[in-house]
Amino acid sequence: MRFLFLLLLVVYFPQHAQSQTYPSKPIRIVVPFPPGGGTDVGTRVIAQKLQEALGQPVLVENKGGAAGILGTEYTAKAAPDGYTLMMGNIGTHAINVSLYKKLSYDPVKDFVPISQVAGLPMLLLVHPSVKANSVAELIALARANPGKLNYSSSGAGGMPHVSGALFASMTGIEITHIPYKGGGPAVADLIAGHVSMSFATALESLPQVKGGKLRALAVSSAKRSVAVPELPTIAEAGVPGYESGSWLALYAPAGTPKEIVAKLSAEAVRIVNLPEVRERLLLQGAEPIGSTPEQLAATQLADTAKYAKVIRESGFTPE
């Protein structure tokens, strides 16, 4: 009994004391993609408010590469003390596990879910020089020129890539995938006219659409976007059953004290529901969510199964 009591003192009380004083130093949120992409933009909206609430600097650290794998692996190996978090998405935590046979992290075992922040519908975008003003016209153009249209993505295996592969599979067209190291560079090269089309989150592309630098043909979600209600869904525009989209979610390394996770989750939900944050996210094409850790875990599990089936049936593999 004395041994068990001492073990309790050694294991529990240091963690409890740490949780009581948390946070006592700066927190960093790892974004496993380069600056300018949808995950990065959404993270900075949340980080600013989280810093105000916790009274400590909340720094955004971009560690892009390999469809988010490098930054995600880095976070998985970080100390589970609440001072290193990450903003994951559907790619890092639900899709990569079905794409890569030797993934360097386990999206379930290596992480603790905190809160799903927002849903991110994808926009089907074309460069203004592409002679297509609708999804039907784009499909017709691609069929008349097999393999000549190309599309950029945030990286092989990411949601933009999967969205494009699914679109090609369901319409029977042949389009060439051009992977980049993040959503920001992928959209930048589309604006420059180096690629014909792209699937990108509204967070990273809507300003360019509104500025006339890109043309949006449709949204990938099941329902129309509040930010661009005039755009039809891809399913409405002639591809019945088509649906894809990403989400943003906060995670911590496995082993992070429950009290810290609960505190961060409560703050994330509160922040996402602030009127000014909701308005900012909606105007940029993101759909505010704010969930409990349990709800995020359920969403992650459901999407892992969903896209495992899509990937298996399409025979899709990253380049």
Q: In the 3-class helix/strand/coil scheme, how is 236-255 assigned residue by residue?
A: CCCCCCCCCEEEEEEEEECC
Task: Work out the mean pLDDT of the chain and round it to a whole number.
Answer: 90
Residue 273 has pLDDT above 80, yes or no: yes
Model confidence at 138, in pLDDT bands (50, 70, 90)?
very high
pLDDT in tens, 48-60: 999 999 999 999 9
C-alpha 248/C-alpha 287 separation (Å) is: 10
Q: What percent of the chain has pLDDT over 70?
A: 92
- Stretch 26-33: mean pLDDT, rounded? 96
Residue 302 has pLDDT above 80, yes or no: yes
Please give the pLDDT value at position 37.
82
What domains can be seen in the chain, in order of their start residue? 23-120+245-314 (3.40.190.150), 121-219 (3.40.190.10)
Query: Is 183 or 9 the better-scoring residue by pLDDT?
Result: 183
C-alpha 60/C-alpha 41 separation (Å) is: 10
pLDDT in tens, 173-210: 999 999 988 888 999 999 999 999 999 988 889 889 99
- Stretch 231-241: mean pLDDT, rounded? 95
Q: Are 77 and 211 in contact (CB under 8 A)?
A: no
Please give the pLDDT value at position 309.
85
- Tokens 């560690």 identify what position? 63
- Stretch 224-244: mean pLDDT, rounded? 92
Please give the pLDDT value at position 202.
84
Helix, strand and coil percent figures for the chain, each rounded to 5 = 45, 20, 35
Query: Is 285 or 305 the better-scoring residue by pLDDT?
Result: 305
pTM value is 0.82
Residue 2 has pLDDT above 80, yes or no: no
Of the spans 22-31, 222-231, 285-294, which averages the highest pLDDT? 22-31
